[in-house]
Amino acid sequence: MIRIDAGGSMGIDFSYEFYVHRRDADVFLAEVAKLCDPELSRLTTILLPSGTSMTMPGTYGFIGDRAIELEVAAADRMGRSFDLSLSFPVDGPLRDYDDEEPGPRVTVGYIYLSVSDDHTILPDHLRFDFMPATTGQSRLFLMSPSVRETFATLALTTGTTLCLLDTEMASHIVVTALGQRLSTRVPGPLLLWSRQVKAAEAFRELSSLLAGNPVHPPKWIIGPAHPDFPAFVESLADYAKVPPDRWLAP
């Protein structure tokens, strides 16, 4: 059985953000298509900047069987997205979410994939956002090891420059950056990205840290030793209604 949740009252809107260079957009979307439910009958053709096209299982703006230019979708300010159902290897949280789907994988939908032409952090990059339809799915984005690992692997195998988990708090969780795993294990340690600064400045600090030249004291990239870290953990646990030990460990 495929469980499809089509929105409704949205209390928590967590999302995974992928910053992908334009030249890698076709590779990225091809890997996303591999994660989609193959049984979906409604398809969308995506016309890529390279001049080629690909087929994505799912709809765009809940309309299927049509062609969408990726660059047009990136410039769309109407809030439309690709409406997908993604399949993840089963783990404890996913089995609790859907205990009726047999087999080694659980399909979660809808997950909305939006694309924007975002130069606030990196020039010539597109930002792809995966946002689930419901609060329960958002909690999976935080506490499912399988979901975190799937998105981290997607980032690392497609040349994604930066992958963040937006938890609607003052800081994002940095999942991967510049080809490196950072906050990928669940439960595991977190590295945070403060939203209280221009994004390009935070990226420079993160790049310096990964190059072995950390800023002292750190300003915008927050680890467990940072004075703002405990408050983030407390706020996120209270907001998500998920105990820290489900997603955070030393």
pLDDT per residue as tens digits for the range 185-235:
999 999 999 998 889 999 999 999 999 999 999 999 999 999 999 999 999
pTM of the model: 0.94
**Percent of the chain beyond pLDDT 90?**
82
User: Is residue 249 a part of any domain in this protein?
Assistant: no
Q: Which residue has the higher pLDDT, 196 or 179?
A: 179
Q: Is residue 6 scored above 80 in pLDDT?
A: no
Q: Which long-range contacts (CB under 8 A, 24 or more apart) does 111-115 make?
A: 111/84, 111/85, 111/86, 111/137, 112/81, 112/82, 112/83, 112/84, 113/32, 113/81, 113/82, 113/84, 114/79, 114/80, 114/81, 114/82, 115/70, 115/73, 115/74, 115/82
pLDDT score, position 99: 78
Q: Which residue has the higher pLDDT, 167 or 6?
A: 167
User: Is residue 5 a part of any domain in this protein?
Assistant: no
Q: Is residue 9 scored above 70 in pLDDT?
A: no
Element (H, E) at 107: strand 105-116
pLDDT score, position 102: 77
Q: Is residue 237 scored above 50 in pLDDT?
A: yes
pLDDT score, position 100: 79
User: Is residue 250 a part of any domain in this protein?
Assistant: no
User: Is residue 248 a part of any domain in this protein?
Assistant: no
7: left (phi over 0), alpha (psi -120 to 50) or beta: left
How many structural domains is the chain composed of? 1
pLDDT score, position 121: 86
User: Is residue 231 a part of any domain in this protein?
Assistant: yes
User: 118 lies in which domain range?
Assistant: 11-242
Q: For 21, phi and psi rounded to 5 degrees?
A: -65, 145
User: Is residue 226 a part of any domain in this protein?
Assistant: yes
User: Is residue 3 a part of any domain in this protein?
Assistant: no
Span 109-130, average pLDDT: 91
User: Is residue 223 a part of any domain in this protein?
Assistant: yes
